[in-house]
Structure 1
Amino acid sequence: MPENLPAPQAVDSPITGSAIFIVATLGAGNEHAATVRAWCADVAGLVRAVGKRVPDGNLSCICGFASDAWDRLFGGPRPASLHPFREFGEGHRRAVATPGDVLLHIRADRMDLCFELAAQLMHGLGGAVSVVDEVHGFRYFDMRSIIGFVDGTENPAGDDAVRFTIVGDEDSPFAGGSYVLVQKYLHDMAAWNDLTVEAQERIIGRSKLSDIELDEAAKPSWSHSALTTLVEDGEEVKILRDNMPFGQPGKGEFGTFFIGYARTPAPIEQMLENMFVGRPPGNYDKLLDFSRAVTGSLFFVPSADMLEALAGREPDARAVAAQPVGSMGS
C-alpha cells in the first residue's frame, strides 16, 4: 500500500466461503440520519467483537453509501465520482437501477459469523433504515458460479488490487476509499443447461473445466470475457469482483450477486455498457439471454478512518432540506 494512504476498509480481503449482502434505504427525518451517522463509529468495533469469537474465520465488513444518502447524511464535500446508478440497455436486457442508500458486504469463512455480525449491525441501525435486499451467498465448489464457470479469475492481487480499487491523490480528501457497484442476477438454468458445453464456453469465452480463456480466434466478440475486458493505453483495466452464488432450489431461484470494486465507477460502467448495449451497439453479451439483472446500485466506500470519523460529521441543514427523501437507483 502506498505511503500515507489512509487504511481502506477490507476491500481486498481474502475471498471467503460465505457472505451476506444487505442493501437498505434511509428513513425520512433527521433522527434516522443521526442514528446512521452515530452507527458509523461502531462498525469496526462490532467486527472485532464478533470476529474474536473465531479468530481464524476471516470476518470482515465493508460499508458503503449511495449518492443521495451521502448528501443527506454527510453533506459536502462528496466523493468526486459518486453518482446515482446509471442504467444501460432496454427491454428485457437492461441493467436496472433499484433503491439503495447503504450497503453492507459481510464475509467470512463461516456463515454463522456473517449472520451474527449482520444481526448486530442491523440492531444498531434499528428503524433508521429499511432493508430492500438481503442475499446470503455461498462459495460453490472450486470458486464456480451457479452456471458452472470459475468466477473472478482475472481479479487483481497484491499491489495491483490497491492500484485498481483504492482512491489516491486524484481525490485526496477521499483517499483510501473505493467505489462498489452491485447487481443481483437471476439465471434461467433450464435453458442454460439445455446448451452444449461448447455453446456455454463460447458465451463465456473460457473453457468450463480448465478455466483457460479461449483462443482469440475461437472466442466470439459477443462473449462475456471479450466484452468485460477493457484495455487503455495498452494495459488491461481491472476491477475486483467478489461475486457469490445464491438461490433457493425449491423455488427454482438460481442467482449470482455481482459485486465489483474499483478506483472509479467508470470501468465497471463501461463493462455494463458493453454487456447490455454491445460493443459495437447490438453486439451484446449473449449471457444476458440466460441471465437477468433485477437490482442495481452504486456506493462509495470511505476509508476505515473516514467511516469512523463520519459519525461526527453533519451536513448543512439547508442542503439537507433541499434533498429528496428516499432514493431510487442512488
Structure 2
Amino acid sequence: MQASALAQPGILAPLPDFGRYLDFRLAEPPPPAAVIRAALSRLAGQVDGNAAVVGVGASLASALQARVPGLRELKDFSTPALPLPVTPGPLWIWLRGDAPGPLLEVTRRIDRALAPAFVLAEAVEAFRHGRGPNGHGLDLTGYEDGIENPVDEAAEAAALATGDGLAGSSFVAVQRWQHDFNAFDAMSTMERDHCIGRRRADSEELADAPESAHVKRTAQEDFEPEAFVVRRSMPWVRGLQSGLVFVSFGHSLDAFEAQLQRMTGHDDGITDALFSFSRPVTSAAFWCPPLREGRLDLRLLGV
C-alpha cells in the first residue's frame, strides 16, 4: 500500500481557512503509562487525520518507554547573537476547518478525551490570509508563502516516511514566529524584498538578491542531500502580537534542520535576513502517526 494511503490526509491537503494549534502537556504528577495509553486510545478513535492532524513528541514516547525511529528533539542552533528557543512538548494537534467556532467544539471534545492524563497548555488561533499570484496564502507581511512546495508525488516523497511501522507517517517541525512590524515598517520596499528574495508585488524571485535573502538561505535543491519539505504554515494573531506558525512536514527531521542550520549562519557565517524582523518564539518536533482502518495507528507507542 502506498504511504499516502496510510497518511493523515491533512498533511498533504491544501490549507484550510482556519486552524487551531493545540499543545498538550502531561498532567502533574506524571500519570502512569497505562493512564496515558488509555487517553491516547480515546484520542485515536476521535480524530480522522484530516480535521485534526496529531503529532507525538519524543518525551511522550520516552514516558511510554517506546521507540519511534527518527523521532528526536530539535537541535539547538542558537548563536550568541541569535538565541533560538527549543520548546519540546509531548503532544501537538493541528485543527483544520472552515470557521473558528467548530474548532472550539473539537478542542473541548479532544480535551475531554485526553483527561486526566493530559492538560491543554496552549491554543494558537490561525487563519489563511489572502492569496498570492501563485495561489498560495500570504504571510501577514504580504509575501506569498509556500511557493517552493513540492507537489503530487514529489510532495509525498518529501513529507512521508516509509518502512515497517513508519509507512505513511511524517515528522513535523513547528515554530511560532513572531514578527516585529515596527522593524518591518521601517524598511524600504527594496529592503523588504531583499530580506525575502522576492518582490512582494508579484512574488517573482530577485536575480540580484543578496546571499542573506531568505529564499537563497533555504533553496531546497541547493543542499546535499536536497532538503525538500512540505510547508503548511498559517498566520496567527493574538492582540497586537502576530506572525507565522511555520509547519514543515518531512520524511525525517533532517531537511528542516539542514535549512535552519544554514539560516542561522552555521554553514557559512551568513545569517538569514528574515531574522531582521522576525524570530521564532517556540520550536518543537513531533511524529505524526499513520492511520490504520480509519484511526490513528499508535502501535509503536504500545497503544
2:265 counterpart residue number: 277
Change (3 A) 1:99 1:132: farther
Change (3 A) 1:109 1:91: farther
1:128 maps to a residue whose letter is A
How much has 1:47 moved relative to structure 2? 4.0
How much has 1:271 moved relative to structure 2? 0.8
Matches within 5 A, 1:239-254: 239-248=229-238, 251-254=239-242
Matches within 5 A, 1:65-144: 65-73=56-64, 75-76=65-66, 78-91=67-80, 93-142=82-131, 143-144=137-138
Question: After superposition, what is the alpha-carbon deviation per residue over 1:141-161, rounded to whole angstroms, capped at 9, x for unaligned?
Answer: 221111110111111222111
- Does the CA contact (< 8 Å) of 2:289 and 2:298 recur in 1? no
What SS class does the counterpart of residue 115 from structure 1 fall into?
helix
1:25 counterpart residue number: 25
Question: Mean alpha-carbon deviation: is it higher for 230-239 or for 88-97?
Answer: 230-239
1:40 maps to a residue whose letter is L
Change (3 A) 1:204 1:214: same
- Does the CA contact (< 8 Å) of 2:234 and 2:244 recur in 1? yes
Question: After superposition, what is the alpha-carbon deviation per residue over 1:225-255, rounded to whole angstroms, capped at 9, x for unaligned?
Answer: 111113368885321111111113xx42122
What SS class does the counterpart of residue 62 from structure 1 fall into?
strand
Change (3 A) 1:287 1:157: same
Q: State, as a whole percentage, how many aligned pairs show the same letter.
A: 23
Change (3 A) 1:44 1:31: closer
What SS class does the counterpart of residue 296 from structure 1 fall into?
strand
Question: After superposition, what is the alpha-carbon deviation per residue over 1:276-303, rounded to whole angstroms, capped at 9, x for unaligned?
Answer: 235412x010110211211111111110
1:24 maps to a residue whose letter is F
How much has 1:221 moved relative to structure 2? 1.0
How much has 1:36 moved relative to structure 2? 3.8
2:245 counterpart residue number: 257
1:67 maps to a residue whose letter is A
Q: In structure 2, how many angstroms separate the alpha carbons of the residues matched to 1:134 and 1:202?
A: 33
Q: In structure 1, how many angstroms separate the alpha carbons of the residues matched to 2:150 and 2:3?
A: 22
| Alignment gaps of 5+ in structure 1 | 49-57, 316-330
Q: CA RMSD in A?
A: 2.6
2:8 counterpart residue number: 9
Within the candidate set 210, 214, 227, 1:220 is matched to 210
2:86 maps to a residue whose letter is A
1:7 maps to a residue whose letter is L
How much has 1:31 moved relative to structure 2? 4.2
Change (3 A) 1:173 1:311: closer
- Does the CA contact (< 8 Å) of 2:3 and 2:167 recur in 1? no
TM-score using structure 2 length: 0.88
Q: In structure 2, how many angstroms separate the alpha carbons of the residues matched to 1:310 and 1:28?
A: 23
2:186 maps to a residue whose letter is D
2:283 counterpart residue number: 296
Greater share of residues in helix: 1
How much has 1:313 moved relative to structure 2? 5.4
- Paired residues, number: 296
1:163 maps to a residue whose letter is A
Within the candidate set 160, 167, 182, 2:154 is matched to 160
2:124 maps to a residue whose letter is V
Within the candidate set 140, 165, 169, 1:173 is matched to 165
What SS class does the counterpart of residue 70 from structure 1 fall into?
helix
1:26 maps to a residue whose letter is L
What SS class does the counterpart of residue 83 from structure 2 fall into?
strand
1:200 counterpart residue number: 192
Change (3 A) 1:161 1:69: same
Q: In structure 1, how many angstroms separate the alpha carbons of the residues matched to 2:210 and 2:301?
A: 50
What SS class does the counterpart of residue 173 from structure 1 fall into?
coil
What SS class does the counterpart of residue 161 from structure 1 fall into?
helix
- Does the CA contact (< 8 Å) of 1:46 and 1:117 recur in 2? no
| Alignment gaps of 5+ in structure 2 | 132-136
Q: In structure 1, how many angstroms separate the alpha carbons of the residues matched to 2:89 and 2:81?
A: 22
Q: In structure 2, how many angstroms separate the alpha carbons of the residues matched to 1:140 and 1:126?
A: 34
TM-score using structure 1 length: 0.81
2:8 maps to a residue whose letter is Q
